Amino acid sequence: MKIAIIGTGRLGSTLGKMWAEKDHTIMFGSRDPQKAKKLANSIGSGASGGTYEEAAKFADIIVLAVPWSGAKESIKTAGVLDGKILVDSTTTAAPHLGGVSIGPTTSAAEKIAKWAVGAKVIKAVHTVGVESLNKLQFGSQQANIFICGDNLEAKSKVKQLGIDLGFDVIDAGPLINARLIEPLAMLWIELAYKQGMGTDIAFKLLTRRKTR
Ligand SMILES: NC(=O)c1ccc[n+]([C@@H]2O[C@H](COP(=O)([O-])OP(=O)(O)OC[C@H]3O[C@@H](n4cnc5c(N)ncnc54)[C@H](OP(=O)(O)O)[C@@H]3O)[C@@H](O)[C@H]2O)c1
C-alpha cells in the first residue's frame, strides 16, 4: 500500500521503517521536507520524503503521527484529504502526563474526523510505546491493538497494517468508540512511567474465541 506518514518523530519514523520492510511504499511528510527526505534515504526501500501536502497527495493511507497539540494545524497543512484513509495515532495525555485531556463525551479521533473533511478516520496504534513495536510477542502472547472507525473497508486495510507490524488487532467498532480506547493509552503511560512498570508492556485481551 502507499502510505504517507505525517510527522517524522519517534512513532512516524519507526512505523515507516517497519512498513517499508513489509513492502509498503512510504512517503514521509515533514514541516521540514529535507528532514523527511533524509529519513527516507536512511530507510531505502523506495521511501521518499516531502511536505505534509505532498505526502498526503501521494498516498491512499495517511498516518497522523504528530502531537495532539499539533494535530489540527497538521491536518490543515496536509491539504485535501477527501476520500483518504486517515489513521489517528495521537494520544491525548494531559500536560505532564496528568491523565486524560479529552472525553468522555468526545474523542481526539472524532475531532480529527471533523477537521479532515471527507477522510475515513481510523483510530489505531496509540496504545503501545514505540519501544515495543519491534517486540510485540510476549512469550506465547501477541500484543493487541484496538482500532475503531466507521468505514469497514478502510478499517480492514488498517487492520492489515497492524498485522504487518506484528499485532493481534481487535476491531473495537465505530469511531465513536475512540472514547473508550483512547484512555487506554493513558493507562499505558501511567503504568509505564508513573507506576514504574517500564515501557516493555502491552495490552492483551483474553478470549476463548479467535480475534482475527
Ligand atoms: N512515541 C510513542 O511511543 C507513541 C506511541 C503511541 C502513540 N504516540 C503518539 O503519536 C504521536 C507522535 O508521537 P512521537 O513520539 O512520534 O512524537 P515526536 O517524536 O515528538 O514527533 C512528533 C512529530 O510531529 C511533527 N509535528 C507536527 N506538529 C508539531 C508540533 N506542533 N510540535 C511538535 N511536533 C510536531 C514533527 O514532525 P516534523 O518536524 O517532521 O513535521 C515531530 O517530529 C503523538 O500524538 C503521540 O502521542 C506516540
Residue to probe by mutation, ligand 1, list 28, 30, 54, 66, most atoms within 8 Å of CB: 66
pLDDT band at 65 (very low <50, low <70, confident <90, very high): very high
- Residue 208 is assigned to a structural domain of this protein: no
pLDDT (tens digit per residue) in 103-124: 899 999 999 999 999 999 999 9
Q: What is the CATH number of the domain that holds 85?
A: 3.40.50.720
DSSP 150: S
Atom of ligand 1 nearest to the CA of 125: 6
pLDDT (tens digit per residue) in 124-183: 999 999 999 999 999 999 999 999 999 999 999 999 999 999 999 999 999 999 999 999
- Residue 60 is assigned to a structural domain of this protein: yes
* Domain extent for 27: 2-194
Residue 11 Cβ inside 6 Å of ligand 1? The answer reads yes
Atom of ligand 1 nearest to the CA of 7: 37
Q: How far is the CA of 116 from the centre of ligand 1 (A)?
A: 18
A 10 A CB-CB count for 112 gives: 25
Residue 127 Cβ inside 6 Å of ligand 1? The answer reads no
Q: What is the pLDDT of residue 212?
A: 58
In whole angstroms, give the CA distance from residue 30 to residue 12: 10
Residue 178 and residue 148 in contact, taking contact as beta carbons nearer than 8 Å: yes
Atom of ligand 1 nearest to the CA of 12: 16
- Residue 212 is assigned to a structural domain of this protein: no
Number of compact structural domains in the chain: 1
